[in-house]
Amino acid sequence: MGYLIRRLEFFFITLWAALTINFILPRVMPGNPAEAMLVRFHGRVSPQTIHTLEVALGLNNHQPLWQQYLQYLGNTVTGNFGTSVTFFPTSVGDVIKQGLPWTLGLVGMSTIIAFALGTILGMLSAWRRGGFLDAILPPVFIVISAFPYFWLGLIVLLVLSLTLGWFPLGFAYDVTGSIELSWSFVGQVIAHGFLPALTIVITSIGGWILTMRNTMITTLAEDYVKMARAKGLSPVRIMFMYAGRNAILPNLTGFAMSLGFVISGAILVEIVFNYPGLGFTLLQAVHSEDFSLMQTLFLMITLAVLVAVLAADFLTAWLDPRTREAS
């Protein structure tokens, strides 16, 4: 259990670090622009809401710092993020609740697809060292990894949507439609989500292919793999049950660690496709200088990544007995 306790410790420390960054930032930046935002609120919301915002955005000078810090932590933990300027008078929490499922769905699905596909491709290219896949995949994906996510999104949009007209232009479902539980709505969501998902898969798959390939190459040189070959086991069995199974573990850790990068790219992709998730909301918050929404979004995205990291850690602990023995 020592492993899991250490990972839980990491979870909370990182969460605390993100919270603290949020608290410190507005206080160390010269000429706090959030002041202008608060002015727009006066007379429109309750004094209590104003106070919450003041504490969160570093505009409260009446109280000692530690007291503000405690108040801020209390407000955040209880889900009291204040009110959004952009979507006035909706509270920040509600704005995020609207965007969250779209982002989780889009990023979650495309990341899982990219991970699964990339791992299998990496496995295959290491298996046939110097073969067709091994010659083509690494250089191609090194170059693709250098493409800006959003630019690739623009290209995909230009070719598949504007020129060929195969997919709708943006947003998560037909603008004329409403959110409902029907097959046509599900179809709309898939049609609208396809291009953003494709963009994320193309740009992130290279990383999984390369890491998997490299660990697989090391694993294939192991004695137990030679032993399996000597026993005359079928190649497929050796590839998946002997080498692949062990090679996937470092990849899983890498998966967790690089989620932050993937989600950063996904934010830009959402912006390109006007996809109504958290990334797009973040852009709107930037444009209307809505600092409370911006900071809460940063927090929520961090939290989502951390939860995914923790899930990957639990998975590793379940798959890899050594992590459990370590205690």
Partner 1 sequence: MAVRVVTDAVPAEAPPVSTRGGVLAAVGLALLRSRKATFGLTMLAFFALVGLLAPLIAPYDPHALLFDPILGPSLAHPLGTTSFGQDIFSQLVWSTRQSLLLAIVAGLFATLISVIVGVSAAYLGGLWDHVLNLFTDVFLVIPTLPLMIVVAAYAKSGGVVVLIAVIVITGWSYGARQLRSQALSLRNREFLEAARVRGERSLYIIVFEVMPNMTSLIVAIFLGAALYAVLAAAGLQFIGLGDPNDLSWGTMLYWAQANGALLAGSPIWVLAPGICIALLGAAFALLNYAFDELSNPALRPVRRRKS
In the bound state with partner 1, the residue whose beta carbon lies nearer, of 71 and 161, is 161
Rank residues 10 and 185 by Cβ distance to partner 1 and give the closer one. 10
Nearest to 7 by CA among 324, 292, 314: 314
Site track for partner 1 across 150-189, x = CB under 8 A: xx--xx-xx---x---------------------------
Tokens 């890491």 sit at which residue?
211
In DSSP terms, 325 is beta-bridged to none
Nearer to partner 1, 10 or 88 (CB): 10
Which is closer to partner 1, CB of 232 or CB of 321? 321
For residues 15 and 306, the answer to whether their CB atoms sit within 8 Å is: yes
Asked if 302 touches partner 1 (CB under 8 A), the answer is yes
DSSP state of 171: S
Write down the least CB distance from residue 242 to partner 1, Å: 11
List, in order, residues 6 or more apart from 238 with CB less than 8 Å away. Answer: 225, 228, 229
Largest CA distance in the chain: 80
Measured between alpha carbons, how far is 40 from 51 in angstroms, rounded to an integer? Answer: 14
Cβ proximity to partner 1, 127 vs 150, nearer residue? 150
List the one residue out of 193, 146, 139 whose CA is nearest residue 170. Answer: 193
List interacting residues with partner 1 (CB under 8 A). Answer: 6, 10, 13-14, 17-18, 21-22, 25-26, 29, 32-34, 138-139, 142-143, 145-151, 154-155, 157-158, 162, 218, 222-223, 246, 250, 256-257, 259-261, 263-265, 267-268, 271-272, 282-283, 286-287, 289, 291, 294-295, 297-298, 301-302, 305-306, 309, 322, 326
